[in-house]
């Protein structure tokens, strides 16, 4: 398989097939990211469509910084586009009205959960929780950066993240318990 650098050179030289190779290489990964933000597949399709159009439109100005930089850039565009999508549809709700989830002892056994289930469980979180969790855990941004990006208070970002983490942990444990019960039956 060609390297990212070779792929970029092909794209910048005007090879339109190279754009399709770029899409084929990162579309499935991008869909996984998109579904974490926008769990409904139809909406995720919309997000990916818009994301790749933006990738193609601005790839000429992309600065290559080593193998993997292109993938990281594409996935950031997907994440940003997903957040914009949620903003446009006014689906952000950073409310603390939900009952506080108690902190349970022990960490959930994430490695026992299939990735597809983890993605689904993240998708079941409320919008605000889900976005902050994604930006903090997968985007590796600080609460200050998250607050600036989402136009919320830093404390709100921290609060949303804590609630998201606890709720996700409970969902994972519930899933494992249900699976164990099913196996015993």
* Residues of the shown chain interacting with another protein in the complex, contacts defined by CB under 8 A: 20, 23, 27-29, 31-32, 35-36, 40, 42-43, 45-46, 48-49, 52-53, 56, 88-90, 96, 100, 103, 107-108, 110-111, 113, 115-116, 118-119, 136-138, 140, 158-159, 161-162, 165, 168-169
How near is the Cβ of 20 to another protein at its closest, in Å? 7
Residue 28 or residue 183: which is nearer to another protein going by CB?
A: 28
How near is the Cβ of 185 to another protein at its closest, in Å? 27
How near is the Cβ of 35 to another protein at its closest, in Å? 6
Residue 143 or residue 150: which is nearer to another protein going by CB?
A: 143
How near is the Cβ of 162 to another protein at its closest, in Å? 7
How near is the Cβ of 52 to another protein at its closest, in Å? 5
Q: What's the per-residue H, E or C state across the chain?
A: CCCHHHHHHHHHCCCHHHHHHHHHHHHHHHHHHHHHHCCCHHHHHHHHHHHHHHHHHHHHHCCCCCCCHHHHHHHHHHHHHHHHHHHHCCCCCCCCCCCCCCCCCCCCCHHHCCHHHHHHHHHCCCHHHHHHHHHHHHCCCCHHHHHHHHCCCHHHHHHHHHHHHHHHHHHHHHHHHHHHHHHHC
Residue 85 or residue 150: which is nearer to another protein going by CB?
A: 85
């Amino acid at each position: 398989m060609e390297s990212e650098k070779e792929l970029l050179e092909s794209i910048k030289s005007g090879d339109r097939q190279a754009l399709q190779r770029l899409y084929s290489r990162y579309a499935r990964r991008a869909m996984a990211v998109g579904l974490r933000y926008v769990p409904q597949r139809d909406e995720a399709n919309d997000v990916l469509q818009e994301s790749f159009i933006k990738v193609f439109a601005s790839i000429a100005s992309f600065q290559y910084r080593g193998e993997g930089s292109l993938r990281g850039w594409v996935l950031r565009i997907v994440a940003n586009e997903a957040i914009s999508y949620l903003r446009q549809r006014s689906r952000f709700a950073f409310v603390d009205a939900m009952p506080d989830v108690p902190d349970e002892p022990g960490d959930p056994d994430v490695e026992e959960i299939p990735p597809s289930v983890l993605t689904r469980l993240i998708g079941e979180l409320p919008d605000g929780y889900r976005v902050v969790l994604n930006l903090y855990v997968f985007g590796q941004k600080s609460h200050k950066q998250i607050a600036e990006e989402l136009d919320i208070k830093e404390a709100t970002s921290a609060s949303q993240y804590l609630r998201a983490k606890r709720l996700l942990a409970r969902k994972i444990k519930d899933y494992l318990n249900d699976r164990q019960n099913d196996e015993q039956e």
